Amino acid sequence: GAVVSQHPSWVICKSGTSVKIECRSLDFQATTMFWYRQFPKQSLMLMATSNEGSKATYEQGVEKDKFLINHASLTLSTLTVTSAHPEDSSFYICSAPLAGGPNEQFFGPGTRLTVL
Amino acid sequence: DAKTTQPTSMDCAEGRAANLPCNHSTISGNEYVYWYRQIHSQGPQYIIHGLKNNETNEMASLIITEDRKSSTLILPHATLRDTAVYYCIVRVAGGNQGGKLIFGQGTELSVKP
């Protein structure tokens, strides 16, 4: 099946710093990618849709100025958590759909962010 | 997208079939039923999807009722590695915005020796 990677797999940072997370589709192109956040013992929450060549679409309640998304190419989307605070500590997961038909999505392994 | 209802948790003995139910009584005619699972601290994994016919692949079988208001995911011979949270999602297939997945709480399946 198609492979999606994320980097880094985990990161620890100080409060107030910015953290960039990369999501790559390794063997297919993705004009759209999705970013999710998951807190402990909870389900995945969709944050935004990343669109290649245009602005991301954010879900209601997600601050676009805090979670900057850049879909630089057909295989790369980045999520930057700006001025991170402890409440931003979470498991961030990206996904990319395989085009054509009732396209299933392929998920990255996730990035564990801990803000001290 | 239609809402789904799943039991919070289920247990299954290793080697036995695991049958995970999902209710989606408000499903529309153009919405598919998708199943994903998430093993602890990993990204979700696609399992199977279907529209109205029963489907089978190397991982599982999907049984959709004739009225499409419910479905059952079947893992024919559950192993300890199948312990995970299983998500049933209903959505329109294809497109960009139509591709986004809205996750419910899922069913936490525990496979026991």
Q: pLDDT tens, B48-97?
A: 999 999 999 999 999 999 999 999 999 999 999 999 999 999 987 665 54
Mark yes or no for CB contact B49/A57 under 8 Å: no
Q: How far is it, in rounded angstroms, from Cα A22 to Cα A11? A: 12
Q: What is the pLDDT of residue B48?
A: 93
Q: How far is it, in rounded angstroms, from Cα A14 to Cα B111? A: 39
| A85-105 pLDDT, tens digit each | 999 999 999 999 877 655 578
Q: What is the pLDDT of residue B77?
A: 96
- B113 Cβ under 8 Å from any chain A Cβ: no
Residues of chain A with C-beta less than 8 angstroms from the C-beta of B49: 102, 104
Q: What is the pLDDT of residue A38?
A: 97
Burial of B92 (0-12, 13-18, 19+ CB in 10 A): middle
Gyration radius (Cα) of chain B, Å: 13
- Residue B36's pLDDT band (cuts 50, 70, 90): very high
| A46-71 pLDDT, tens digit each | 999 999 989 999 999 999 999 999 99
pLDDT at A40 over 60: yes
Q: What is the pLDDT of residue B52?
A: 92
The three state secondary structure string of B4-69 is CECCCEEEEECCCCEEEEEECCCCCCCEEEEEEEECCCCCCEEEEEECCCCEECCCCEEEECCCCC
Nearest to B3 by CA among B59, B70, B54, B55: B70
Q: What is the pLDDT of residue B1?
A: 63
- Taking the CA of residue B33 and the nearest CA in chain A, the distance in Å comes to 10
